[in-house]
Chain A
Amino acid sequence: MIPIERTLLYSVIAVYLFITLAPLLWVLSTSFKPNQEAISFPPKLLPDAPTLDNYLFVLTDPKLVTSLFNSLLVSIGSTGLSVAVSALAGYAFARFEFKGKNLLMSLILGLFMIPVVINIIPLYIMLANVGLLNSLLALILTFQILIIPLNIFLLKNYFETIPKELDEAALIDGCSKLRALWHIIVPISMPGFLIAAILSFRFSWNEFVLPIVLSNKPDVMVFQVALYQFISLYRIDWGYLTAGINIALIPVVVLMLFAQKRMIRGLTLGAVRG
């Protein structure tokens, strides 16, 4: 590669890395400033006297703590449920021939394209009618529509990379298909399950539209909604808010950095065949 070309490539990357990281680092820096300093003008790049007060405030506010706990509960619950039902469906697509298989698969992928926003009004009325409005269960169930299609797609592709001979051998030994799934496929597919679980967690943890409509009472609020309410109630205290932002970021960013290489491979797995 000629040097000019290399310089050009690196400068494109440098510019975009700056765009990507500068806002995050700015918010990080602000979260260690007391509030007056956070909105002082001209702004200071680094806090004069870094303080953890903002974090302490967020982590001791009873409403915010409850909402953090709710977020964790809902995210884990919806991740578990979606991975379980998607594994069964993915296994059906990967290992069985049945009528309407292709049609069903493209229907499921098509559903993925339907924006959930459009469904919030009917979902609200539906859940109000069955008395599930303002419950964590409502969130766990409705989050499924955000993640099941993607999970079925990922897991089906992963299962297809496993040689059929493996579970066929188990079937000959008298295993039922379900037991073959549980004892042979599931253990080998752990990396695939990991990607599916991390993506599900990310979608559930970050979701805002469904919870703000379906579950916005204090005891069933999730963290994203609680932060939003927090700023609409008080005047915006940017010190506290930036600390809250970072607390919301930590779990997903850590998980995604851990998974990103596998994630691209997981998506490519489907792509190569497609």
Chain B
Amino acid sequence: MILKLEARAGILQPYLLLVPALSILVGFLLFPLMWNIYISMHNVSLTTILGEWKYVGFKNFSNLLHDPDFHKSLQVSLLFVGGSVALQFFVGMVLAVVLNQHIWGSNAFLALIIIPWTVSAVITGFSFKFIFSDSFGVLNYVLEQMGLNPVAWLSDPEVVVWTLVIANMWHGTPFTVIFITAGLFSISPVVYEAARIDGATKIKSFFYITLPLLRPFIIINLILITMWSVNFFDLILVMTNGGPLFASTTSSLYMYRQAFEFGLLSKGAAVGFLLIGLNLVLAYSYIRLFGRQEKTVEIRQR
């Protein structure tokens, strides 16, 4: 009897070890995620949270479809995400490859380049708001000294998104550097040695060895930086608060403002639900574009 109990406890043991972590994840991540759907189909505002919720079906969603401000926010998101991902990925990839050439000082350079990633989005936002300021910003001063025209970085509706993309690049690129560096470390030097003996040039080995072997890292990296850019709004909140007018209000900032500035929690939840959909579609298309089978294998083996 005792033996049997012990054996059963043995089977249960790993699950027991998982209980604390999983209950937190279910309670504060999975449950809210599901509940979000319920909220988006009711009419909840900051004033009626604890009162009765009225069921409204898909009304919040259909309202969004006819909301020009929401359409505008999707456009802004598209520019912001596209610009951020392209810039962060390209610059991060170049830096990771350069730093992996075992040149003198590369470890110290890597340590310095990572610093912006340790800086919070809010702090990044403040710093760049200061540097990009239209009236006293140091950047415009430098441009003037170089004989160029100053730019209204934060108040020109055509420019402001790109200002945010630059700030986001500063903040986000180190992640790609770290991630791709980890990927480069995982490639055995023997492979390159073999290619060199076979007469491959450095450029050839990069395209025929490095890139294909990095593919799983590249896909996950792209998915992560895309999702982060889609959902990123603290930097924008600090730098422009979505302005001028709606020129820099991305969909995630739109969600935040609807919910907590105007108190329309259900409307915000509906935007949130659409954002999840957008994230999934983007992730899926990356996997379809670059991934094929390897992606699933890679994640499972981890």
Inter-chain residue pair count (beta carbon < 8 A): 265
Question: How long is the Cα–Cα vector from A271 to B182 in the complex, in angstroms?
Answer: 7
Q: Do A27 and B36 have beta carbons less than 8 Å apart? A: no
**Interface residues as binary, A176-215 with B (CB distance below 8 Å gives 1, 0 otherwise):** 0100000000000000000000000010011111001100
| Contact of A105 (CB < 8 Å), options: B182, B298, B302 | B302
| Contact of B122 (CB < 8 Å), options: A91, A114, A129, A227 | A227
Q: Do B120 and A206 have beta carbons less than 8 Å apart? A: yes
Residues 252-281 of B at the A interface (beta carbon under 8 Å): 252, 255-256, 259-260, 265, 268-269, 272-273, 275-276, 279
Question: How long is the Cα–Cα vector from A6 to B121 in the complex, in angstroms?
Answer: 34
- Which stretch, A51-59, A62-70, A245-253, touches the partner chain B? A245-253
A11 and chain B: residue at smallest CB distance: B98
Q: Interface size bucket, B side?
A: 35 or more
Residues 88-125 of A at the B interface (beta carbon under 8 Å): 88-89, 91-92, 96, 98, 101-102, 104-106, 108-109, 111, 113-125
Interface flag for B283 (CB, 8 Å): yes
| Contact of A115 (CB < 8 Å), options: B22, B116, B122, B279 | B279
Interface flag for B50 (CB, 8 Å): yes
Question: How long is the Cα–Cα vector from A9 to B216 in the complex, in angstroms?
Answer: 26
Q: Do A113 and B98 have beta carbons less than 8 Å apart? A: no
Q: Do A118 and B186 have beta carbons less than 8 Å apart? A: no
Residues 9-57 of B at the A interface (beta carbon under 8 Å): 11, 13-15, 17-18, 20-22, 24-25, 28-33, 35-36, 39, 44, 49-50
Q: Would you give the shortest CB distance from B270 to chain A, in whole angstroms?
A: 10
User: If the complex has contacts A42-B141, A264-B182, are A88 and B21 also in contact, measured as CB distance less than 8 A?
Assistant: yes
| Contact of B44 (CB < 8 Å), options: A1, A85, A125, A145 | A125
Residues 2-25 of A at the B interface (beta carbon under 8 Å): 6, 9-10, 12-13, 16-17, 19-21, 23-24
Q: Do A257 and B14 have beta carbons less than 8 Å apart? A: no
Q: Do B269 and A121 have beta carbons less than 8 Å apart? A: yes
**Interface residues as binary, B96-120 with A (CB distance below 8 Å gives 1, 0 otherwise):** 0011010100010111111111111
Interface flag for B300 (CB, 8 Å): yes
User: If the complex has contacts A141-B28, A213-B260, A271-B185, are A23 and B170 also in contact, measured as CB distance less than 8 A?
Assistant: yes
Q: Do B103 and A145 have beta carbons less than 8 Å apart? A: no
Number of residues of chain A lying within 8 A (CB) of chain B: 97
Question: How long is the Cα–Cα vector from A26 to B269 in the complex, in angstroms?
Answer: 40
Interface flag for B191 (CB, 8 Å): no
Q: Do A242 and B185 have beta carbons less than 8 Å apart? A: no
A144 and chain B: residue at smallest CB distance: B24
B268 and chain A: residue at smallest CB distance: A121
Q: Would you give the shortest CB distance from B71 to chain A, in whole angstroms?
A: 20
A231 and chain B: residue at smallest CB distance: B126
User: If the complex has contacts A27-B130, A245-B123, are A117 and B252 also in contact, measured as CB distance less than 8 A?
Assistant: yes
Q: Do A106 and B300 have beta carbons less than 8 Å apart? A: yes
B33 and chain A: residue at smallest CB distance: A119
**Interface residues as binary, A256-274 with B (CB distance below 8 Å gives 1, 0 otherwise):** 1100110110011011111
B167 and chain A: residue at smallest CB distance: A23
Q: Do A12 and B98 have beta carbons less than 8 Å apart? A: yes
* B-chain residues with CB within 8 Å of residue A42 when the two chains form the complex: 141
Q: Do B265 and A121 have beta carbons less than 8 Å apart? A: yes
| Contact of A271 (CB < 8 Å), options: B32, B217, B273 | B217
A238 and chain B: residue at smallest CB distance: B130
Q: Do A122 and B33 have beta carbons less than 8 Å apart? A: yes
Interface flag for B183 (CB, 8 Å): yes
* A-chain residues with CB within 8 Å of residue B207 when the two chains form the complex: none
| Contact of A126 (CB < 8 Å), options: B18, B35, B99, B130 | B35
Interface flag for A30 (CB, 8 Å): yes
| Contact of B30 (CB < 8 Å), options: A40, A111, A177 | A111
- Count chain A CB atoms within 10 A of each CB in B126, B136, B256, B301 and give the residue with the most: B126
Residues 143-180 of B at the A interface (beta carbon under 8 Å): 170, 178-179
Q: Do B126 and A241 have beta carbons less than 8 Å apart? A: yes
- Count chain B CB atoms within 10 A of each CB in A84, A85, A91 and give the residue with the most: A85
B174 and chain A: residue at smallest CB distance: A20
Question: How long is the Cα–Cα vector from A148 to B252 in the complex, in angstroms?
Answer: 24
Q: Do A13 and B18 have beta carbons less than 8 Å apart? A: no
Interface flag for B249 (CB, 8 Å): no
| Contact of A113 (CB < 8 Å), options: B110, B126, B223, B256 | B223
**Top 5 closest A-B pairs, CB basis?**
A206-B120, A115-B231, A122-B32, A96-B14, A92-B17
Additional pairs, 18, CB under 8 Å, beyond known A118-B272, A253-B118: A20-B113, A24-B115, A27-B130, A43-B141, A89-B18, A117-B272, A118-B231, A119-B33, A206-B120, A245-B123, A249-B123, A260-B111, A260-B114, A264-B181, A267-B179, A270-B302, A271-B185, A274-B298
Measured CB to CB, the residues of B under 8 A from A are 11, 13-15, 17-18, 20-22, 24-25, 28-33, 35-36, 39, 44, 49-50, 91, 94-95, 98-99, 101, 103, 107, 109-123, 126-128, 130-131, 133, 135-136, 138, 141, 170, 178-179, 181-183, 185-186, 216-217, 223-224, 227-228, 230-234, 238, 252, 255-256, 259-260, 265, 268-269, 272-273, 275-276, 279, 283, 298-302
